[in-house]
Amino acid sequence: GLLGMSVEPLTPEIAAQLDLPRGTEGVVVVGVDPSGPAAEAEIRRGDVIEQVNRQPVRSTADLRAALERSGDRPSLVLINRRGNSFFVTLRPRR
């Protein structure tokens, strides 16, 4: 997975299950490695990643590209958890 998490595209069905507002875009976290960088950033299963470094994430490819651009630098990630949006810092392992 990417930095200790597995993601899938956010479908309208999944968005409804997660109580997200209609039109929410992003990718949904479906798994988190308990010892990985995502877990350290408090990212949880069911979280939706909407942005990385203020760039919108609409697909798993967008997420991968944004994280690759960050390289070894931390990424500012906008998470939507059941309708509440907040930023976390995702720090890659060296």
Q: Which structural domains are found in the chain, ordered by start?
A: 5-90 (2.30.42.10)
pLDDT 10s digits, 61-91: 999 999 999 999 999 999 999 889 999 999 9
pLDDT of residue 22: 85
CB of 56 within 8 A of CB of 80?
Answer: no
Confidence of residue 48 (pLDDT cuts 50, 70, 90): very high
Tokens of 25: 């875009």
How confident is the model at residue 93, as a pLDDT? Answer: 83
Query: What average pLDDT does the structure give for the chain?
Result: 94
Contact 6, 26 (CB under 8 A): no
Q: Return the pLDDT at 31.
A: 98
By three-state DSSP, how is residue 13 classified? helix
User: Counting Cβ atoms within 10 Å, is residue 90 exposed (0-12), middle (13-18) or buried (19+)?
Assistant: buried
Cα(65)–Cα(2) distance, integer angstroms: 11
